Amino acid sequence: MNIKSIQTLVSEAMREIKTINADEAFKMFEENNCNLIDIREASEIEKTGGVEKSVQISRGMMEIFLDPNSVFFQQGKLDQNKEMVLFCAGGIRSALAVKALQNMGYEKVSHIEGGFGSISKSKFKIL
């Protein structure tokens, strides 16, 4: 049995996904060119705060909510024509989540290097 470590999974994902920094993400967000998706758990957001106008979809529900037939698309909370920009606390879960979305067929998808840690030091407004 050859079970991969989390470090191996993340390393493999990082070679295949798009990573952007918080400043790049802020520019895309300001220009209304992305869906900013916080994949942290609700309890994490309660402790550290959330990013204004981001959409919260926990990592565990991501594939369900990012199904094109989901309520998020039907209610207009997400725009499939814009890039999906994901972030978590530090960048590990979001890297794996971007890989999962690529497996679903998403092409315009990226994650923010350093996650919420780097976002909280950028121009994003934290609530």
Both tokens assigned to 46: 């309660």
Domains and CATH numbers, the chain: 18-119 (3.40.250.10)
Cα gap 24→17, rounded to integer Å = 16
User: Which are the contacts of 53, defined by CB distance < 8 A and separation ≥ 6?
Assistant: 29, 36
Please give the backbone phi and psi of residue 35, each rounded to the nearest 5 degrees, phi first.
-100, 120
Return the pLDDT at 72: 82
**Per-residue pLDDT at 73 exceeds 90:** no
**Per-residue pLDDT at 87 exceeds 90:** yes
Alpha carbon 103 to its chain's center: 15
**Per-residue pLDDT at 8 exceeds 90:** yes
